[in-house]
Amino acid sequence: MDATTVAIDLAKDVFEVAVANRTGRIVARKRLRRRPFERFLEELAPGTEVVMEACGTAHYWGRRCQARDLPVRLLPTQYVRPYVRRNKTDRTDTEALLEAARCGGVPPVGVKSAEQQTLQGLHRVRAQWQMTRTARINLVRALLREQGLPIPLGARTLLARVASLLEDAETALSDRLRSTVALVVEEIHALEGRLATIDAQLAEVARTDPIAIRLQQIPGVGVLTATAMVAAVPHIHAFRRGRAFASWLGLTPRESSSGMRRHLGGISKRGDVYLRCLLAHGARSVLWTSRRRSQAGRIPPTPFQQWAVTLAARRGQNKAVIGVANKLARMIWAVWHHDVDFRQPLRGADAA
């Protein structure tokens, strides 16, 4: 069989396979369950290109193929979808993969290592537990407010006040509600313990991984942002410049242009929402520190901080946060791509 490219539509149990020759013509089709699919991969000749969508389990199968000297191309799902003709089925999905693979304008996704996926898994679990903790805190606050017991904002304030309310026998709470709130508070403390365990693991990675160490030199980039970047970016050299990296994160304007008319709207919000959220939090930290330095006057602000304060005064807080986050993304790309330590730019007086 003259097989040069194999398109695989991944699934949990049933895998659709289309085999194409050098001219792109499909010469064989297979519908395999997991065990026969594994044997099929083992029988492929080295050098046969494997094309898959960058979806669930794609990186695992990509590593399996690379271990057998099979070139792997993971294509973004949103770029493959327009090539699907007629109804969407597993069969047409494999055809769309072959068509997208022949298009030179579809950028492939790098295959992540097992260590990167492990690190990303820690971040996913932490985010889920963080949302659950916030939901439980809001639940306790709402239950007590309905009983005429409002509690000021702040997680630490709530837990301290709830503990005293539950211990006070004269608090206007029924025994049933008191015991139920106590169970929810126990769940919150358990979640905080689990979050502390994951934070310790992420901190260990941030202390030992050379890329994470270098990224933490950038203002506004801490343990979470540095380790999340290491986990999410398979290959930084796939981005030719910092603007491409910021665009991948969804921090560049959405454009709608035609002819001589150019219109730039809000940010595109494409890419990883979690990474974009971390960069926005880091940008807020930079703005807060910059304002404190500018108001105190004892320590002169750096050029980056001075630019951030000026931008916030000119464009407002929210737009300044996005602008600083975009700048942080470009700094991350420069430090990582060129494999150098971060250094503050010289002021005009120092440069002279």
| pLDDT tens per residue across span 17-76 | 999 998 889 999 999 999 999 999 999 999 999 999 999 999 999 999 999 999 999 999
Number of Cβ within a 10 Å radius of residue 154: 11
> What pLDDT is recorded for position 259?
86
β 72-75/49-53 pair status: parallel
Mean pLDDT of 87-107: 91
> Per-residue pLDDT tens for 317-349?
999 999 999 999 999 999 999 999 998 765 543
**Same domain as 231, residue 291:** yes
- Residue-level length of the chain: 352
- Yes or no: say if 54 and 9 are a contact pair by the CB < 8 Å rule: no
Separation CA 327–CA 218 (nearest Å): 11
Separation CA 192–CA 156 (nearest Å): 11
Residue 136: exposure state from Cβ atoms within 10 A (0-12, 13-18, ≥19): middle
Q: What is the DSSP letter of 261?
A: B
Report the side by side order of strands in the sheet with 5-9. 26-33, 14-20, 5-9, 49-53, 72-75
- Yes or no: say if 34 and 57 are a contact pair by the CB < 8 Å rule: no
β 26-33/253-255 pair status: unpaired
Cα 101 from chain centroid (whole Å)? 25
Looking at this protein, which amino acid is placed at residue 299?
Answer: I
Q: How many domains does the chain have?
A: 3
Q: Out of 208, 226, 254, pick the residue that ends a domain.
A: 208
Q: Out of 164, 183, 208, pick the residue that ends a domain.
A: 208
**Same domain as 187, residue 269:** no
CATH number at residue 94: 3.30.420.40
Mean pLDDT of 191-204: 97
Please list, residue by residue across 24-36, b when 16 or more beta carbons sit within 10 angstroms of its beta carbon and e when fewer do. eeeeeeeebeeee
Separation CA 302–CA 307 (nearest Å): 9
Interacting residues of 117 by C-beta distance below 8 A, sequence separation 6+: 59, 60, 231
Beta strands in the chain (DSSP E): 5-9, 14-20, 26-33, 49-53, 72-75, 253-255, 264-267
> What pLDDT is recorded for position 348?
40
**Same domain as 89, residue 32:** yes
In a domain, 107, yes or no: no
- Yes or no: say if 286 and 324 are a contact pair by the CB < 8 Å rule: yes
**Same domain as 220, residue 178:** no
Give the structural domain span for 260. Answer: 215-346
Least confident of 67-71, 130-134, 237-241, 301-305: 301-305
In a domain, 15, yes or no: yes
In a domain, 232, yes or no: yes
The DSSP-derived string for 183-225 is: HHHHHHHHHHHHHHHHHHHHHHHHHH-HHHHHHTTSTT--HHH
Q: Out of 102, 126, 141, pick the residue that ends a domain.
A: 102
Give the residue among 33, 9, 6 at the shortest CA–CA distance from 88: 9
Separation CA 256–CA 1 (nearest Å): 47
Report percent pLDDT > 90 for the chain.
Answer: 72
What pTM was estimated for this model as a whole?
Answer: 0.88
Mean pLDDT of 290-314: 85
Cα 198 from chain centroid (whole Å)? 17
Q: What is the DSSP letter of 169?
A: T
Separation CA 271–CA 132 (nearest Å): 24
